Amino acid sequence: MDDQKAIELYTRFREARCSLGHKYQIAAYHRFLDRGTYPVIAMPFIEIAKEQTREIANAVNEFGHYLHELTAWESILRLLTEDEKFEVVFEFLLPTSVYCLGAPYAIKGRLHTSIAEVSHQANRFRLSTWKDDANLAKPNFKTAERHAQHWNSWPALAAALSQLSDDSFNSASDDFRNRFNHGYPRGVEFGLTGLVRRNVGPDGLVSYGLGSSPPLRIADLIPLLAQQHAAALDCYDTYINLIREQHAQLPAN
């Protein structure tokens, strides 16, 4: 692709992006943690909650931004020849596609971490038996649950988390995020991925199957990613409800 063609295509992309308007909802930024003064013992909760609520909102909004870009490019992609499409995918689209396919898992992981860390601080003021030496290394859902289950907002948040980077999305995207980081994912728009399946039968006999997988199509991925973006927004909103509940329980100055 020569420079002039690249400029022309990028101009068309920007026009398509503009014509879409605000397609994906923005995660709101909240100021309720800035109530004025707090006792010193509450400052770890305040500082952690301020930073992490902002960064999770940023992550959700970045996901929406790049999904918006992917949607705009797809409207152009369908009008191109195969040769043009190949160049556009590798020049512009592949990094954005990889980012979007990994975003649900990354946002869920950040939520697990924040729920555990912020709830640990809030539990210090709510539970007389709570110990400050809780293990917060490498948090996952069980870690988040262990720390947040004492709060009324947790069941709704747990239900929301179950929809983000869930089995349905992972199956429909052929576990792209995991395969990209730990194995060999299917291509995006182009390329067949070789496949060797090793099967061990109940009698201990081993057999092999050979084949290939077609590429993932961006037109098919966009509805899946839109559902995941909506799930990420729902997780963020219910997470904010948890932080609000915990914030209301802080000791007065």
pLDDT tens figures, 92-122? 899 999 999 999 999 999 999 999 999 999 9
* pLDDT for 5: 86
Q: Give the type of residue at 69.
A: E
**Domain ranges, residue 101:** 3-186+217-248
If one counts the domains in the chain, the total is 1
Which residues have a Cβ under 8 Å from the Cβ of 38 and sit 6 or more positions away? 46, 250, 253
* pLDDT for 165: 95
Element (H, E) at 193: strand 193-200
Domain annotation covers residue 92: yes
CA nearest to 243, candidates 27, 50, 11: 50
Q: Which two tokens stand for residue 182?
A: 């730990």
Element (H, E) at 18: helix 3-20
Cα 186 to Cα 173: distance, rounded to the nearest angstrom: 9
In the block, residue with structure tokens 């050979």: 210
Domain annotation covers residue 197: no
- Give this prediction's pTM: 0.90
Tell me how far CA of residue 87 lies from CA of 7, 141, 158, 213, in angstroms.
Answer: 13, 40, 42, 22
* pLDDT for 186: 76
Per-residue pLDDT of the chain (253 residues; tens, 9 = 90+): 788 888 888 999 899 999 888 889 999 999 888 877 888 888 999 999 999 999 999 999 999 999 999 999 999 988 888 888 888 888 889 999 999 999 999 999 999 999 999 999 999 888 777 877 777 888 899 999 999 999 999 999 999 999 999 999 999 998 878 887 888 877 888 877 767 778 898 888 898 878 777 888 999 999 999 999 999 999 999 999 999 999 998 887 6
Cα 247 to Cα 31: distance, rounded to the nearest angstrom: 12
| Exposure class string for 217-232: b at 16+ Cβ within 10 A, else e | ebeebbebbbbbbebb
Cα 220 to Cα 195: distance, rounded to the nearest angstrom: 22
* pLDDT for 135: 77
Length of the chain: 253
Domain annotation covers residue 165: yes
Cα 120 to Cα 133: distance, rounded to the nearest angstrom: 10
Q: Which two tokens stand for residue 48?
A: 């952690």
Domain annotation covers residue 129: yes
Cα 118 to Cα 209: distance, rounded to the nearest angstrom: 48
Q: Which two tokens stand for residue 227?
A: 């559902």
Cα 231 to Cα 226: distance, rounded to the nearest angstrom: 9
* pLDDT for 187: 82
Domain annotation covers residue 168: yes
Domain annotation covers residue 212: no
